[in-house]
A and B are shown apart, each in its own frame.
Chain A
Amino acid sequence: MQLRYWKVRPYVLTAGRTRTRQPLLVHTLVSVPYYDAVFAAGLLPEARSLYEQARRTARSVAELSAVCGISLGVTRVVVDDLAATDRLLVHTDHDNVDFRLLERLRDGLRKLA
């Protein structure tokens, strides 16, 4: 992974927050519902980097954190902020794994086994 050194401290981006409005798990998928270049240009570099990376395909919070070189905790807070204004779409996870999901996983894995 390419290491990047961001110019500001993490707490500047999060304003000291560590909690998010909605649960964002490491595998929660995030995407950009409609891309707005003007909006992107006005973002802080870190937030912009997350926004751009989620643009093409839905990516998990952990993936975004890794490709942008932003720690998981900061990624969560910034993603949550962008989602609060509908700039990012959070594909809400089943907090409780349901039977139908397991069936789909089983059928998918059988094809690979």
Chain B
Amino acid sequence: MASASLPDSPLLTSAKIVIAGGFGVGKTTCVGSISEIPPVNTEAWMTAASETVDRLDPGIDKTTTTVAMDFGRLTIGPDLVLYLFGTPGQPRFWPMWDDLCRGAVGALVLADTRDLAASFPAVNYFEQDSDVPFVVCVNLFDGVLHHPLEDVRAALALPARVPLTACDARDPSSVARALLTVVEHAMSRTPRPAAGALAAR
């Protein structure tokens, strides 16, 4: 049966951007601020029972964290949906990253300048183990950029070809601008279609 041709079920397209970064850099906040659905978590929240395993910096007031991946949804048009997937922060969930990144438009690697080292593994992953275009984004926790971006780039040993930006993960339009940077970076790495190919679509 030619179900695909039924008028009430037009083919939709979905795209995915991966939100990566270290533990506690604000991935869930970032997904939640722009998602039209509450961020869905496919697993449970960290509870007091796992505190000794997932140590949080005592100075950081955070009571829950993502155990597995969480994601949000953003309708771009009537036939296009963008999904945002936060990567699991803890190293023991790393095998999931390849699966999560498959078919992604790009990735936004969040960094916290108070704990840059937390984002080293994520930067490493996208630099060496993945073909997904990525942008590093400093999460402005207090809405203030404490260090010039050039200093952050140097501290992360980030090559010039990787865009570096800043956003406030709590602010939807700020997150949208950061995602825009990811899409534009992906565009710069994707060949433009020939005129004939475009007409055929």
- Closest-CB distance, A94 to chain B (whole angstroms): 7
Query: Most chain-A CB neighbours within 10 Å: which of B12, B34, B177?
Result: B12
- Majority-rule SS of B interface residues: mixed
Q: Which one of B69-77, B110-118, B155-163 is at the A interface? A: B69-77
B62 within 8 A of A: no
- From residue A21, how far is it (CB to closest CB) to chain B in Å? 16
Q: At the interface with chain A, which of B21-29, B50-58, B145-153, B187-195?
A: B187-195
A109 with B85: CB separation less than 8 A: no
B166 to chain A, nearest CB (A): 14
Q: How far is the CB of B25 from chain A (nearest CB, A)?
A: 21
Q: Count A-B pairs with CB separation below 8 Å.
A: 135
Does B40 reach chain A (CB closer than 8 Å)? yes
Does A12 make an interface contact (CB < 8 A)? no
Number of interface residues of A (CB under 8 A): 42
Closest to A58 in B: B12
A110 to B178, CA, bound (A): 11
Contact digits for A85-111, partner B, Cβ 8 Å, 1 yes 0 no = 010010111110111111111101110
The 6 A-B pairs of least Cβ separation, nearest first, read A108-B76, A33-B3, A112-B176, A27-B16, A27-B83, A113-B176
User: Using a CB–CB distance below 8 Å, which chain B residues touch chain A?
Assistant: 1, 3-4, 6, 9, 11-16, 34, 40-42, 44, 69, 71, 73-74, 76-77, 80-83, 85, 99-100, 102-105, 172-173, 176-177, 179-180, 183-184, 186-187, 190-193, 198, 201
